Structure 1
Amino acid sequence: MEQGGLRKSGRQIIASAALGAALLTAPPAGAQTKEELAEARALFQEGVALSAANNCPAALARFQAVANVRRTPQVLFNIAECEARLGKLVSALGNYRIAAAAADGDPKAREVTANVGPRIEDLEQRIPRLAIRRGQGALTATILLDGSALGAAEMSADIPVDPGPHVVSARIGDREVVRETVTLEERDEKTVEVAITEPPRPDAPPRAAAPPRTAPPEATRPAARPSKVPGLVVLGAGLASGVVGGVFLGLRAGTLSDLDALCGGDRSCPPSARPTADRGRLYTGVAEVGIGLGVAGVAAGIALLVTSSRDAAAAEPRAGAAAARRSAGGGVPRAAVVPHAPGADLAGLGVAGRF
């Protein structure tokens, strides 16, 4: 058996060498330079030698490099020879057929014409065939063979494939729902039915629109804390007015002393004392107004501060504790401006309070 195989390989090598003679003796083509043709001849000789040593992968690389320079029937024939020995039967059959078509009517390719026919017939019988059909649930699925999607024509006919394992898969959208590995030997014929038993994934429900934002009820809104700034401002202004009134009250006292000195302690005063008396009346008026405004400002500032404190206590979340403090303290501090109160000053005003 081994001797027969060696004799067959030897005959193929001799035929390849004979078929390459046309390349080595062919006149230069106009599209290639002499250097390119010389390099191609050298590569062809290397390919023949490597093929004779059963190094078909290296020989195939040399012959394909030669084809990039001159794609003659002889070169195509030798490429097909290497592919057939490497198990690439489908590609080899295609190159044999291309070599046969290129050699038809070419007197320099008679050897190709004489040898290519039996090669084609042999491969057509050896190449395994795979039929892929759609089964249950696979009507709309994408069917793939070794990662390549199949068209309608390929799904309706037997597909020639190389011997060895092949992967048949099916996808629905971006999901792979079927994956099967099929191994074929030479001359095999197999049929694979792609059936999808997985239930289709339900479409995602439409996302509900977010409800419109509504303002929280007034009862749930946190109450703004009353500001103490107005009370402090009014209280400060009252104190300032009181200070001014006090200053002029001191000036009034000095003026009264001057009048006493000029008038001699009685009610009769000389005309020269009039300016001092007028200045005393002015100081008295300013002192009364300043002290009056001061007292009113202090009273109003205290009232504003008390009110803001009371509102802040009412807004506290811990209402129970606030109520307890109010009951323990005897109520909210109160203050009032009392006109003509006992002990009132020059403006006739007084401040009475309970704390």
Structure 2
Amino acid sequence: MEQGGLRKSGRQIIAAAALGAALLAAPPAGAQTKEELAEARALFQEGVALSAANNCPAALAKFQAVANVRRTPQVLFNIAECEARLGKLVSALGNYRIAAAAADGDPKARDVTANVGPRIEDLEQRIPRLAIRRGQGALTATILLDGSALGAAEMSADIPVDPGPHVVSARIGDREVVRQTVTLEERDEKTVEVAIAEPPRPAAPPRAAAPPPDTAPPEAPRPAARPSKVPGLVVLGAGIASGVVGGVFLGLRAGTLSDLDALCGGDRSCPPSARPTADRGRLYTGVAEVGIGLGVAGVAAGIALLVTSSRGAAAAEPRAGAAEARRTVGADVPRAAIVPHAPGADLAGLGVAGRF
């Protein structure tokens, strides 16, 4: 096996060298400069040497750089040779076919025409094929192979893939609902059915037993209304805001008084030019007095409302508990009665009496 592999590798190297000679002998194209063509020939020679040393990744990079300058049938053939040896069978088959089409009718590419046919036939048999079909629940899902969405044509035919692991997934919107890995060897043919399990339906709640015909269902206790704290908070906030406004205008008033003292010289005889300043001081004084007064009143009223609502909430809970106790006693002891002003009563002067 090793000797056969070496003989085959040797034949491939000889073929690549022959094709390289054809490339180097080809006349220069008008679109490239002499420097670019010289660099391409050097890269091609390096690629042939690397391929002969079984360093196919580096050789492939050299040949692809040459193709950027001159995309001849010989260059495409050597790119396909490297890809086939690296396991990139699908890409290699495509480049073999492009090289064959480019060499057709070209007398300078007879070596490519003579060697490319058996390469294509060999790869067509070696390339594994994967068939992906929609199963239950996957009719509207987006099916992906190795991250690329598949179209209707690909879903209806077998897809040639490289040997190795491949990821088949399905998405509904932005959510991935299926993900599985399929590994294929050379010449394998596999079919994957993408099925999406429906989410379990929620169990129906158990039905409550119907009450007897003559028995009315017990009335559900109504929760006692709890006093709201919103009015107190609103009034308190308004009082604080008014106080802040009053304080601001009080500061403005002090500044105006200082300006007035400077204009009047410290006595009561002020020039006519000080009149606007005096009027402004009176305005600031009035606004400050009103704002501070409203602020004090608002804060006091807000605190009072908050205290009242807290006491009302605390008193509502015992009343609700007592009402529930009365209903329970009435249900367990049908002959009991509520007696007003009973001795020892602890709920608004009421007590419960009855025969046992």
With the length of structure 2 as denominator, give the TM-score of the two structures.
Answer: 0.58
Take 2:29 and 2:123, find their aligned partners in 1: how far apart are those partners?
Answer: 33
1:198 Cα deviation after fit: 3.8
Shift in alpha-carbon separation, 1:23–1:317, aligned structure 2, 3 A:
same
Q: In the alignment, which residue of structure 1 is the partner of 2:248?
A: 247
- 2:203, 2:330 → 1: CA distance? 68
CA distance in 2, matches of 1:140, 1:126: 33
Please state whether the residue corresponding to 1:330 is helix, strand or coil. Answer: helix
Residues 302 and 335 in structure 1, CA contact (< 8 A), matched pair in contact too: no
CA contact (8 A) 1:236 1:298 kept: yes
Q: Deviations over 1:59-114 (max 9, x none)?
A: 00000000000000000000000000000000000000000000000000000000
Contact 2:23 2:72 in 1 (8 A): yes
Kept in 2, the 8 Å contact 1:43–1:62? The answer is yes
Contact 1:245 1:291 in 2 (8 A): yes
Deviating more after overlay: 224-233 vs 178-187: 224-233
| Paired residues of 1:288 and 1:346 also in contact (CA < 8 A) | no
Q: Report the Cα offset of residue 343 of structure 1.
A: 57
Range moving further from structure 2, 219-228 or 24-33 = 219-228
Quick check: 1:296–1:337 contact (8 Å CA) kept in 2? no
2:354 match: secondary structure: strand
| The 10-residue stretch of structure 1 (168-177 or 55-64) with the greater mean CA deviation from structure 2 | 168-177
1:204–1:169 Cα change, 3 Å? farther
Deviations 1:296-316 (A, max 9, x none): 999999999999999999999
Alignment of 1:309-320 (within 5 A): none
Alpha-carbon contact 1:134-1:194 (below 8 Å) kept: yes
Larger Rg: 1
Give the aligned CA root-mean-square deviation in angstroms.
20.7
Return the offset for 1:8: 0.3
Higher mean C-alpha displacement, 335-344 vs 93-102: 335-344
Q: Which moved more, 1:135-144 or 1:202-211?
A: 202-211
Task: Give every structure 1 segment of 4 or more consecutive aligned residues whose post-TM-superposition deviation is greater than 4 Å.
Answer: 200-355
Residues 13 and 200 of structure 1, relative CA distance in 2, 3 Å threshold: farther
CA distance in 2, matches of 1:58, 1:35: 22
Note the C-alpha offset of 1:283: 38
Is contact 2:144-2:169 (8 Å) kept? yes
User: Is the CA contact 2:338–2:351 (under 8 Å) kept in the aligned structure 1?
Assistant: yes
Q: 1:315 to 1:262 in 2, by over 3 A?
A: same
Unmatched tracts of structure 1, length 5 or more: none
1: CA distance, partners of 2:6 / 2:175: 50
Q: Answer with 2-11 or 317-326: which moved more.
A: 317-326
Counterparts in 2 of 1:178 and 1:218: CA distance versus 1, 3 Å: closer
For 1:170-202, what per-residue CA distance to the aligned partner results, in whole angstroms no more than 9, with x for missing partners? 011111111000000000000000011142899
CA distance in 2, matches of 1:140, 1:105: 48
Q: Secondary structure in 2 aligned to 1:83? A: helix
Shift of 1:26: 1.1
Structure 2 contact 64–79 (Cα < 8 Å) conserved? yes
The number of residue pairs the alignment matches comes to: 355
Over 3 Å counting, the alpha-carbon distance change for 1:170 and 1:281 in structure 2 is closer
**Contact 1:141/1:172 (8 A) holds in 2:** yes
Residues 285-305 of structure 1 deviation map (CA, whole Å, 9 limit, x = unaligned): 999999999999999999999
Bigger CA drift: 58-67 or 245-254?
Answer: 245-254
| Identity %, equivalent residues | 95
Task: Assess, with a 3 A threshold, how the Cα gap between structure 1 residues 316 and 271 changes in structure 2: closer, same or farther.
Answer: same
- Distance in 2 between the 1:98 and 1:155 partners? 25
The CA deviation at 1:319 is 21
Structure-2 separation of matches of 1:329 and 1:22: 112
Alpha-carbon distance between aligned partners in 2 of 1:292 and 1:17, rounded to the nearest angstrom: 104
Change (3 A) 1:178 1:21: same
Q: How far off is 1:39 after superposition?
A: 0.1
Alignment check: 8 A CA contact 2:224 2:320 kept: no
Unaligned runs of 5+ in 2: none
Q: 1:293 to 1:343 in 2, by over 3 A?
A: farther
